[in-house]
């Protein structure tokens, strides 16, 4: 990208990342509500990971393609903006329709639309920040994204409990057993996701391409075949640091997937002694999980800002390892807590881990990849996120389609259909991720001749 990137003030960095507030509000709604929505519509706990395959599969297919395509886009609307505006519109549609689901099939189908929109938006948004900021400001940029992630998901998880506190009945459900609190918060998310992204790209537009950048883009082969070839080439040329980050990601995202899927069910068992999804006690467990998640996301929000000076001293790798270890300890402790108040103590560790996850690995990544291929490598890095999620779904879940059974069913078999055992596995995974990240050697990628022109 352009050799001269103007230094941005903190308010401008905040504005350019405001769209992450809406995007991550959407992700927060999925994390906190998709499992219960499936349960309300009749799904079994052991089927949940397989029913949520939309996220990892769309991420695996869409983000590398969008990344490679956006690297080669040079129209008047910019390289990244056309993609994340279209994705934001899809996300808005999915959020509006999801709480109106009348069947399991409808909810699963809408999740595919919603996740497609999220993934179309996510990758170019990451690349947009890398494009727009000079190297000295990128850590602040990605940690700001992490802060907005924490704030957005804090709001997404807390809003249903706030609605109940304001007088809504937690047991007021529609004819398909979906609470009306879910309907309202999803509709708030639909408006927020689109409005904040439009605000960001209008207030902090992409830098205009230089003549050299346009010439480089025009010289690149076009078409879907060329896009796949570029992805394959980038994988072959992947920097060693990025390959090592893939090992960390395997443990990190397997553990986070399990936590997001089963934390509410673990709280239902350990605190409220219920496994019945349509009971009032389970509705209370969902609200409690929302408040715990809001708290750990607030910790993520606050800690992301505190990490800015710390990362300059310790480096993103060691700091990320320490935060992951705290998260692993929290997940190991949480299944053994039986009172609501004490749930917030292990949530501190989860919040520190989540705040670091959304910022520090990207700081390591952008210092190891060539600038001219930022988009495609951001997309490939997302594959390192979604592949562990796919592994989690296949290993833990089993879905009987009649003519074939998908998945190994370890949740029902090895873990005895107990979500508390699942959270213990998640804690061990985060501890292994903490050890793995210490193996990563940080450093800036060497630019080839064409890349020097764009660096």
Q: What is the pLDDT of residues 48-96, one digit of tens each?
A: 998 988 888 888 888 778 877 777 777 677 778 888 789 999 999 999 9
Kindly state the helix (H) or strand (E) to which residue 405 belongs, with its residue range: strand 405-406
For 168, the token pair is 């809504």
User: Taking the CA atoms of the chain, what radius of gyration do you get in angstroms?
Assistant: 21
The widest CA-to-CA distance across the chain, in whole angstroms, is: 65
Quote the pLDDT of residue 452. Answer: 28
Quote the pLDDT of residue 445. Answer: 44
Strand, coil or helix: what is 85? helix
**Mean pLDDT across the chain, nearest whole number?**
86
pLDDT at 448 over 50: no
Assessment of whether the complete model's pTM goes beyond 0.75: yes
Quote the pLDDT of residue 40. Answer: 95
Quote the pLDDT of residue 371. Answer: 77
For 137-157, letters b (16+ CB in 10 Å) and e give bbbbbbbbbbbbbbbbbbbbb
| Among the listed residues 354, 349, 376, the one whose alpha carbon sits nearest the alpha carbon of residue 365 | 376
CA dihedral 174, 176, 179, 180 (to 10 degrees): -40
DSSP 107-159: HHHHHHHHHHHHHHHHHHHHHHHHHHS-HHHHHHHHHHHHHHHHHHHHHHHHH
Chain Cα centroid distance, residue 182 = 20
Quote the pLDDT of residue 404. Answer: 67
Q: List, for residues 393-445, the tens digit of each pLDDT value.
A: 999 988 776 666 777 889 999 999 999 999 999 999 999 999 998 887 654 44
CA distance 374 to 131: 8
Question: What proportion of the chain, given as a percentage, has pLDDT over 90?
Answer: 47
Under 8 Å between Cβ of 191 and 8: no
Confidence of residue 1 (pLDDT cuts 50, 70, 90): very low
Under 8 Å between Cβ of 99 and 178: yes
């Amino acid at each position: 990208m352009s050799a001269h990137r103007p230094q941005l003030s903190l308010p401008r960095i905040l504005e350019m990342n405001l769209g992450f507030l809406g995007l991550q509000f959407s992700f927060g709604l999925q994390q906190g509500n998709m499992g219960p929505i499936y349960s309300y519509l009749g799904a079994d706990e052991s089927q949940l990971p397989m029913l949520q395959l939309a996220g990892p599969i769309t991420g695996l297919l869409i983000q590398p393609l969008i990344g490679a395509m956006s690297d080669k886009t040079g129209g008047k609307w910019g390289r990244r903006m056309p993609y994340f505006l279209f994705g934001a519109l899809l996300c808005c549609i999915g959020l509006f329709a999801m709480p109106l689901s009348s069947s399991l099939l409808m909810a699963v189908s809408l999740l595919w639309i919603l996740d497609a929109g999220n993934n179309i938006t996510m990758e170019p948004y990451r690349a947009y920040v890398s494009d727009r900021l000079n190297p000295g400001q990128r850590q602040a940029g990605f940690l700001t994204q992490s802060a907005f992630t924490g704030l957005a998901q804090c709001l997404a998880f807390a809003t249903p409990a706030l609605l109940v506190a304001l007088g809504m009945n937690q047991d007021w459900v529609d004819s398909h057993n979906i609470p009306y609190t879910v309907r309202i918060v999803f509709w708030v998310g639909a408006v927020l996701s689109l409005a904040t992204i439009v605000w960001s790209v209008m207030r902090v537009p992409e830098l205009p391409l230089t003549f050299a950048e346009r010439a480089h883009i025009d010289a690149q082969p076009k078409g879907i075949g060329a896009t796949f070839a570029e992805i394959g080439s980038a994988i072959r040329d992947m920097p060693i640091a990025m390959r090592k980050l893939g090992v960390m990601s395997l443990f990190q995202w397997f553990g986070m997937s399990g936590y997001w899927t089963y934390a509410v069910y673990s709280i239902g068992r350990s605190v409220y002694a219920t496994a019945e999804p349509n009971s009032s006690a389970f509705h209370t467990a969902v609200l409690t999980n929302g408040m715990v998640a809001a708290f750990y996301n607030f910790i993520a929000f606050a800690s992301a800002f505190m990490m800015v000076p710390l990362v300059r001293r310790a480096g993103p790798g060691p700091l990320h390892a320490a935060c992951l270890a705290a998260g692993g300890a929290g997940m190991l402790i949480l299944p053994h807590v039986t009172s609501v108040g004490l749930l917030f103590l292990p949530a501190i560790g989860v919040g520190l881990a989540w705040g670091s996850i959304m910022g520090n690995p990207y700081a390591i990544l952008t210092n190891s990849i060539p600038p001219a291929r930022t988009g495609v490598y951001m997309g490939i890095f997302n594959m390192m996120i979604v592949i562990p999620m796919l592994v989690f779904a296949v290993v833990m879940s089993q879905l009987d389609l009649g003519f074939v059974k998908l998945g190994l069913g370890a949740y029902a078999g090895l873990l005895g259909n107990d979500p508390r055992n699942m959270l213990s596995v998640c804690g061990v995974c985060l501890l292994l991720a903490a050890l793995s990240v210490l193996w990563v050697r940080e450093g800036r990628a060497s630019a080839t001749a064409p890349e020097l022109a764009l660096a």
